[in-house]
Structure formats: structure tokens, C-alpha cells
């Protein structure tokens, strides 16, 4: 009810955007908390988190039109370089708070999303992989290619 009240106070023209932003924030906070708990316990991701990640994936696929095989190929280092894949990665990163819509990368948010045992590795990745490119989608893509090259064994694109 408080969630609806918060969004009800928004400008009527912006209400849909406000609801979407609140949903993204709530999803991000829940996802971060659950992932940290899961990693600390050494268990597999619970079904709720898998479902949230699937929903985020589905939303970004719908937004960008990327083919599923392009995402699967990226996990093996075969980055197609298509605009759809670039913008899918940007959608995912911005939805998780690692990047804004202008392509500004938030290294602290990236590191904070990592499980504690991977944060040192994340800091090394941030040192090695600097945001480069001509737009938000290009920057997100280049960051991910660099992350993959830095350590393919620790890279995964949902």
C-alpha cells in the first residue's frame, strides 16, 4: 500500500515511469539480499531469484530484440557485436543499477552486487576494464567483452 501511495504522489504523466522505477529498485534490493545470502550459504540460487532474473532477462530481450543464441554465444566469448546484444547488456546493467541510461558505469554498484568472496576479483576487473564507447549500449558491451577476456571462468551473461 505504501508503494502505491508513493507512486500516486508522482505527477500523473510520470506515474507509469515512477511505478517502473520503484519496481526496479525493489527488485534490485531483494535480488542483492538474496544473492548475498545464497552465496554465503554456498547454495544454488533459490527459485524466486531465478524467476526475478528470468523476468529481467525477458524484459531486456523484449526491449532490445536480441536473439537468445547471441546471449548464449557471449557466455562462450563469441560476442556478435550487434546493436541488439549491446543494448541488451546495457538494459541488464542499468536495471541492476550498474549503469545509468547515459552510459555512466557505477563501479561501486558493480562491486557491491558481487558476492563477498568475489569482490576482490571485481575490483581487479574494474581496474582493468574501463568504460569506453560512443553510447550507453556500446560502453556496456565493451565492458562485458573486457570482463570476459579478463577471466572467462567468472563471466556470465543472463
| Domain residue extents for the chain | 2-154
Tell me the per-residue pLDDT of 102-156, one tens digit each, with 9 for 90 and over: 999 999 999 988 888 889 999 999 999 999 999 999 999 999 999 999 999 988 8
Inter-axis angle of helices 47-64 and 83-95, nearest 10: 140
Q: Give the alpha-carbon dihedral of 105, 24, 137, 84, to 10 degrees.
A: 150
Rounded to two decimals, what is the model's pTM? 0.72
CA distance 31 to 18: 20
Q: Which residues contact 48 (CB under 8 A, 6 or more apart)?
A: 34
Q: Assign domain 2-154 one CATH number from 1.10.238.20, 1.10.287.40, 1.20.120.160, 3.40.50.720.
A: 1.10.238.20
Amino acid at each position: 500500500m505504501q508503494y502505491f501511495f508513493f507512486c500516486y504522489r508522482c505527477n500523473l504523466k510520470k506515474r507509469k515511469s515512477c511505478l517502473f522505477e520503484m519496481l526496479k529498485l525493489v527488485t534490485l534490493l531483494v535480488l542483492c539480499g538474496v544473492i548475498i545470502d545464497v552465496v554465503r550459504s554456498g547454495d544454488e540460487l533459490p527459485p524466486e531469484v531465478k524467476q526475478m532474473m528470468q523476468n529481467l532477462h525477458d524484459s531486456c530481450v523484449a526491449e532490445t530484440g536480441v536473439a537468445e543464441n547471441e546471449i548464449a554465444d557471449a557466455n562462450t566469448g563469441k560476442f556478435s557485436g550487434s546493436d541488439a546484444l549491446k543494448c541488451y547488456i546495457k538494459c541488464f546493467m542499468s536495471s541492476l543499477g550498474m549503469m545509468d541510461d547515459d552510459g555512466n558505469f557505477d563501479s561501486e554498484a558493480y562491486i557491491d552486487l558481487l558476492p563477498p568472496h568475489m569482490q576482490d576479483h571485481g575490483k581487479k576487473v574494474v581496474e582493468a576494464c574501463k568504460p569506453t564507447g560512443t553510447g550507453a549500449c556500446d560502453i556496456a558491451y565493451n565492458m562485458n567483452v573486457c570482463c570476459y577476456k579478463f577471466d572467462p571462468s567468472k563471466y556470465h551473461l543472463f
